[in-house]
Structure 1
Amino acid sequence: MLKFFKYLALVEGYSFLLILFLTMPLKYLGGVLLPNKIMGMAHGILFLSYVVIAIVLSQLLKWNFKKLLIVLAMSVVPFGTFWMEDTYLKEDLKAIP
């Protein structure tokens, strides 16, 4: 489940950046709405999945509250999930035999 969360974090991060740097300018500068609607829905599903799985993993891996808050906060910061995956998940992945 931890490896799945790692990949989910990366995909969620890419979807956030795609919305931020591609579909939002298309919407507000070009008046093109469809890509934003499609990516917005996909990103919403990925974001909610990220939050739920982070909470479940925090219980399974006995994360302290500070670590859980950081992992959750990084989902709303551009490039945050990439940093979080590199900083926090690598130590947990090493602990798995």
Structure 2
Amino acid sequence: MIRLFKIIATLEGISALVLFFIAMPLKYMYDMPEYVRVAGMAHGLLFTVYIIMATMLKFELKWSFKKYLIICLASIPPFGTFYMEWKYFRGEEYKNSENI
């Protein structure tokens, strides 16, 4: 489940970057709102799945509330999920886990 969470975290981060740095400039600079609809829908879905999976992992792996909160808040700023994945999921306990 950790491997799937890492994939979702990466996709959520990419979708946020696409939304903020490609779709929104196209909407406001070139009057092309259709890209925001597609990127926004993908980002919203991935964000929801990210939070649900973080909540499931909190109970499965017995994370502290602080760690859980940081991981959830990392989904808000651009590049936050990439940093979170590097900081919290690079350790040996996740690399050698049968969950991966």
Which amino acid is 2:3 matched to? K
Matched residue of 1:76: which SS? Answer: coil
Residue in structure 2 matched with residue 39 of structure 1 by the alignment: 39
Residue in structure 2 matched with residue 82 of structure 1 by the alignment: 82
Residue in structure 1 matched with residue 29 of structure 2 by the alignment: 29
1:19-56 deviations in whole A, cap 9, x for unaligned? Answer: 01000000111110111101100110000000000000
- Which structure's residues are more often helix, by fraction? 1
CA distance in 1, matches of 2:95, 2:11: 21
Which amino acid is 1:38 matched to? V
Tell me the number of residue pairs that the alignment of Structure 1 and Structure 2 aligns.
97
CA distance in 2, matches of 1:10, 1:94: 17
Indicate the percent of aligned positions where both proteins have the same amino acid.
43
Matched residue of 1:57: which SS? Answer: helix
Residue in structure 1 matched with residue 72 of structure 2 by the alignment: 72
TM-score for the superposition, normalised by structure 2: 0.92
Q: Which runs of 4+ in 1 moved over 3 A?
A: none
Gaps of 5+ in 1: none
Query: RMSD value over aligned CA atoms?
Result: 1.1
Residue in structure 2 matched with residue 94 of structure 1 by the alignment: 95
Residue in structure 1 matched with residue 57 of structure 2 by the alignment: 57
